[in-house]
């Protein structure tokens, strides 16, 4: 096991007793869903929160949205072995509701920012508005900002739509595919 993988493993088994008061209450009843993929990834895909299937299997993006994402990654010629997939929130929120600001802040501080520091990806590709707003707060419309380039620390921050948004629209599915292809092209240049 390489050093980065050891650090990622330690991150998910850490003692959070000092910050337990900030931890989402429901997290005690749900499985933690760690990120997975290459610890040397140049591309990190970041979603909002795990769904029911992800919570049961403790693996990110394997439910309905994950199937769409993985299909589009394959078409975009982005091998799963070369990326790291994670979520801002590490537990499934009750009734699949949107995470609160405090939940997003807690999980960003305790997990996601540390994943980024360990992996040091060239590109952070956020899926959906909530994941993007974790980095740059504001009232964003993902359809207006998708495909724009921002920065976070030393990484390019590239927002796009969430795969769940594409389930009923081939046009949006094509849009997500084009964004993923752009992410691939950017990763080759930096």
- Model confidence over 42-84: pLDDT tens digits? 999 999 999 889 989 999 999 999 999 999 999 999 999 999 9
Q: In the prediction, which pLDDT does 23 show?
A: 58
| pLDDT over 80 at 18, yes or no | no
pLDDT tens string 78-121: 999 999 999 999 988 888 788 888 889 999 999 999 999 999 99
At 173, the pLDDT band (50, 70, 90 cuts) reads: very high
Q: In the prediction, which pLDDT does 26 show?
A: 52
| pLDDT over 50 at 41, yes or no | yes
Q: Which domains does the chain have, with CATH numbers?
A: 31-189 (3.40.470.10)
Instruction: Judge if pTM exceeds 0.85.
Output: yes
pLDDT tens string 136-167: 988 889 999 999 999 999 999 999 999 999 99
Beta strand 155-160 pairing with 123-127: parallel
At 20, the pLDDT band (50, 70, 90 cuts) reads: very low
pLDDT tens string 128-138: 999 999 999 88
Mean pLDDT, range 3-25, rounded to an integer: 73
Q: In the prediction, which pLDDT does 98 show?
A: 84
Q: In the prediction, which pLDDT does 181 show?
A: 98
């Amino acid at each position: 096991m390489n050093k980065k993988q050891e650090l990622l493993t330690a991150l998910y088994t850490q003692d959070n007793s000092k910050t337990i008061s900030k931890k989402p209450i429901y997290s005690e009843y749900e499985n933690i869903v760690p990120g997975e993929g290459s610890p040397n990834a140049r591309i990190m895909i970041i979603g909002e929160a795990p769904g029911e299937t992800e919570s049961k299997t403790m693996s990110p993006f394997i439910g309905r949205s994950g199937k769409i994402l993985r299909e589009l990654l394959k078409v975009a010629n982005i091998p799963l072995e070369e990326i790291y997939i994670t979520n801002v929130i590490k537990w499934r929120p009750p009734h699949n509701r949107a995470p609160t600001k405090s939940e997003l802040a807690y999980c960003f501080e305790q997990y996601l920012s540390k994943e980024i520091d360990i992996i040091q990806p060239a590109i952070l590709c956020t899926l959906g508005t909530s994941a993007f707003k974790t980095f740059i707060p504001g009232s964003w419309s993902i359809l207006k900002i998708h495909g724009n380039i921002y920065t976070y620390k030393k990484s390019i921050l590239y927002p796009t739509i969430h795969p769940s948004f594409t389930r009923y629209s081939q046009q949006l599915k094509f849009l997500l595919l084009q964004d993923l292809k752009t992410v691939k092209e950017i990763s080759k240049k930096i």
